[in-house]
Structure 1
Amino acid sequence: MSPSASAPTPTTPFGASADLPKPPGLTWRVQSREPVGYDVHIVRGLLDPANPTLARACGADGQNPTRCLVVVDDKVRTLYGERVRAYLDAWRVESFWKVLPGDEAAKELTSAVEVTEAMTAMGLLRRTEKVVAIGGGVVLDVAGFAASLYRRGVPYVRVPTTLLGQIDAGIGVKTGVNHGTHKNRLGTYYAPETALIDPEFLATVDPRHIVNGMAEIIKMALVKDRTLFELLEAVVAGAGPQSLTAGGAAATEVISRAIAGMLDELEPNLWEQVLERSVDYGHTFSPSLELRADPPLLHGEAVAADMAICVALAHHRGLLCADDTDRALRLMHDAGLPLSHPVFTTDLLAESLRDAVKHRDGLQRVPLTDGIGRVRFVNDLTHEELGRAREFVAQRAAALGAPEDGRVLAVAS
């Protein structure tokens, strides 16, 4: 090449001219945050047309028409359907209805799909029209799960009508359905716009379901609130669990303290980034029992049997003195909850613990009471400990006169 000849233009490995802009990188990181906020209200007389709370939650002002999808369980529809429809009509809310069974067998993916089909049938608008879920925990979970899936999320309102729903299932952000032999195996974190709690609904709740909700209140007392525990002892020894349906100062304090304690634990950890959760107390072994017991147990009944095992584990580890151990087991028994169940073999307890380890990312993270009102997490429970705890509970249950076959105690109406 002669000296006067032009030198070749250098190229990049991709053949592009070196003086052209470089191609963009091949790795990106996307970050975003979505604020989550929702309200929990205790409000009496929710279905009184003079009370605007539910209407406002539906986006209604009484002047301009709007629409909503009401997802309700069959028993609640029978008891309150006409009142709900009359209330919505009074506020110019055109309501479309989807009725579901309220029992655990209905808590499945098929039910959630049916709810989404009801949204399609009414032509639910994505942002301005609401799903209103009215019922117990099963319907609230199914409707919330469906709302989180439909068009990747539509707004919904929770109106829990059972005690368990009002202090637990209706006030968090978790939704879900059962799958196979696994409790809540399919689910999402999806907050309602609001949860409206009317204690007047409890007046028509079956006595067994009041006791069912008592289990979750006892849970909060054991892990967080000794004052609540002592209040529950007085309530159970006095008028009994059914007094929670009659209102009054004691009932209001029990329910409000349980809700406040639950929200205090949930709020800093809504998405469960921290897997050591005190509200998992009673939920290590109970999922296996709840889906295997025949005849079926309600959620709180299975939780109670789990809590009894955990009380025994804490006692044997020196975390719970003998007196407090007896008090905890007696409170559950006197409330009408089961302490044991024949399905709870030591092998099943061990199997349940192994499944919990998977759910808790490789560690047991089992919450145990460190005295009443406090909690400690352990990661080294053994098969032998589980067997000893089961035997201890069986002995104490027999001493208290609990049925040996795990039957739920009769409760007064």
Structure 2
Amino acid sequence: MTEPFHSAGLYTHSDHIDSWTVRSAKPLSYEVRICEDAFDLGSTALLEGAGTVTATGPLRRFVVIDEEVAALHGERIEKYFTHHGVDFRLHHVKADETVKNFDTAGKIVQALDAFGINRRQEPIIVIGGGVLMDIVGLVANLYRRGTPVLRVPTTLIGLVDAGVGVKTGVNFNGHKNRLGTYFATSLTLLDRSFLATVDRRHIANGLAEILKIALIKDRNLFALLEQHGDRLLETKFQGDAVSQGRVAAQVVQRAVHGMLEELQPNLWETELERVVDYGHTFSPTIEMRALPALLHGEAVCLDMALTTVVAERRGLVTAEQRERVLDVMRLLELPRWNPLLEASLLASALEETVRHRDGQQRLPLPVGIGDAVFVNDVSAEELAAAVDELRRADSRVPAATS
């Protein structure tokens, strides 16, 4: 008779093995760090994890950089790597939603292959906005089944949203982020100084994601935006006085902390009711339909404006609170209305979201300012009525004639 055998981690019910259950757990840890100058010559944060030399020679880094960032900051970045004796290549990429696809990802892989890296000791570095970080995150996850990556976000939306989570992705078949993975970045350095060269519209774009956190979980953050939002936009989070500098730092810290507080217990989205999905029910469809006219944060703001009206109609938000929210959107120079807010498109977008959220709407709505609730019963008729009301509420759009 054959002797039974056992192996750690594998369990069978009898000597006749016809099934194995394999269980494993991999701990996850990554760091998001605020810094004043990621490329200060005295800083070695971007060189951490591999010492100063590899097993075969000097430190090597493959650096993917947004082409506009390279034009503005490339000389300083090159000086940083040269100062530290790094063998590096800067791979420039045009990065926006219109080229957030597999073709762009494939070109990065080709350049990465040409440079050649030790995937354990030589992390990829990405310097750019949320679109580029999403693409490079996907590349790093797929390349040899996992290559470390370090991020330096250079836009506000990158600092407070795209640069702090673990999702990667590219657009496909007309759908936003249809293909993607979960992949943790070893280190993200948040450096507000890059925002000084970001245009005003893209600062507003990032403020939309900060407003999202404020509306669903942080009324004190909302108060900061209500009081200082115009100056934050004007000064690009650099601060034109000591007090304004403190406000800028506090707004970024609260936004990042709020986002991470929600993401950390649910990184792989096993729980589909996520308050950080606020503003992301209708916006993916709106954004992709509008390309390239709308930025991501602008589409999110339209979604939030609409759902604020839905919430008011349900008695979750008062008329006064609705006006405060819409006024802050205007203060931040974000859109509250767009012709794409049409009932049939919104109903279609909601159907797509239901498929994405496992058969239920799981739609977060604001409760006052600073809290949220999930609903599963929003109807097409309710959306149509909210659209009409939002059109009337936006003073820039004339009321529809009967």
Give the structure-1-normalised TM-score. Answer: 0.89
Task: Tell me, in whole angstroms, the C-alpha distance in 2 between the residues paired with 1:103 and 1:396.
Answer: 32
1:6-405 correspondence to structure 2 within 5 Å = 19-21=1-3, 24-56=16-48, 59-61=50-52, 65-236=58-229, 239-247=231-239, 248-293=245-290, 296-397=293-394, 399=395, 401=396
> CA offsets per residue over residues 261-318 of structure 1, 9 Å max, x none?
0000000000000000000000000011111115520000000000011101110111
1:240 deviates by 4.9
Residue identity over aligned pairs, in percent, reads 46
- After TM superposition, the structure 1 stretch with the greater mean CA deviation from structure 2, 20-29 or 148-157, is 20-29
- After TM superposition, the structure 1 stretch with the greater mean CA deviation from structure 2, 336-345 or 257-266, is 336-345
Partner in structure 2 of residue 408 of structure 1: none
1:236 deviates by 2.5
1:403–1:141 Cα change, 3 Å: farther
1:40 deviates by 0.5
Unaligned residue ranges in structure 2 (runs of 5+): 5-14, 240-244
On the 8 A contact 1:136/1:160 being kept in 2, the answer is: yes
Task: Tell me, in whole angstroms, the C-alpha distance in 1 between the residues paired with 2:99 and 2:63.
Answer: 17
On the 8 A contact 1:243/1:251 being kept in 2, the answer is: no
Partner in structure 1 of residue 9 of structure 2: none
1:403–1:44 Cα change, 3 Å: farther
On the 8 A contact 2:66/2:132 being kept in 1, the answer is: yes
What SS is found at the alignment partner of 2:179? strand
The code of the aligned residue for 1:113 comes to G
Max Rg structure: 1
1:60 deviates by 4.5
The code of the aligned residue for 2:46 comes to L
Task: Tell me, in whole angstroms, the C-alpha distance in 2 between the residues paired with 1:377 and 1:40.
Answer: 29
> CA offsets per residue over residues 110-135 of structure 1, 9 Å max, x none?
11111122221111112001100000
Task: Tell me, in whole angstroms, the C-alpha distance in 1 between the residues paired with 2:248 and 2:164.
Answer: 18
Partner in structure 1 of residue 12 of structure 2: none
Task: Tell me, in whole angstroms, the C-alpha distance in 2 between the residues paired with 1:24 and 1:93.
Answer: 57
The code of the aligned residue for 1:61 comes to T
> CA offsets per residue over residues 44-70 of structure 1, 9 Å max, x none?
02111022222326x343897210110
Task: Tell me, in whole angstroms, the C-alpha distance in 2 between the residues paired with 1:244 and 1:172.
Answer: 23
Partner in structure 2 of residue 6 of structure 1: none
> CA offsets per residue over residues 73-100 of structure 1, 9 Å max, x none?
1100111111111101111111122211
- After TM superposition, the structure 1 stretch with the greater mean CA deviation from structure 2, 93-102 or 21-30, is 21-30
**Aligned-residue CA RMSD in angstroms?**
1.7
Task: Tell me, in whole angstroms, the C-alpha distance in 2 between the residues paired with 1:346 and 1:323.
Answer: 25
Task: Tell me, in whole angstroms, the C-alpha distance in 2 between the residues paired with 1:199 and 1:307.
Answer: 26
What SS is found at the alignment partner of 1:197? strand
Task: Tell me, in whole angstroms, the C-alpha distance in 1 between the residues paired with 2:193 and 2:383.
Answer: 41
1:243–1:156 Cα change, 3 Å: same
Task: Tell me, in whole angstroms, the C-alpha distance in 1 between the residues paired with 2:201 and 2:334.
Answer: 9
On the 8 A contact 2:232/2:248 being kept in 1, the answer is: no
Task: Tell me, in whole angstroms, the C-alpha distance in 1 between the residues paired with 2:267 and 2:389.
Answer: 35
Runs (4 or more) in structure 1 with deviation over 6 Å come to none
Task: Tell me, in whole angstroms, the C-alpha distance in 1 between the residues paired with 2:311 and 2:51.
Answer: 51
The code of the aligned residue for 1:278 comes to V
1:403 deviates by 9.0
Task: Tell me, in whole angstroms, the C-alpha distance in 1 between the residues paired with 2:159 and 2:220.
Answer: 20
Partner in structure 1 of residue 7 of structure 2: none
1:157–1:379 Cα change, 3 Å: same
Task: Tell me, in whole angstroms, the C-alpha distance in 2 between the residues paired with 1:20 and 1:360.
Answer: 49
- After TM superposition, the structure 1 stretch with the greater mean CA deviation from structure 2, 78-87 or 219-228, is 78-87
1:165 deviates by 0.1
> CA offsets per residue over residues 161-202 of structure 1, 9 Å max, x none?
000000000110000000021100000000000000100000
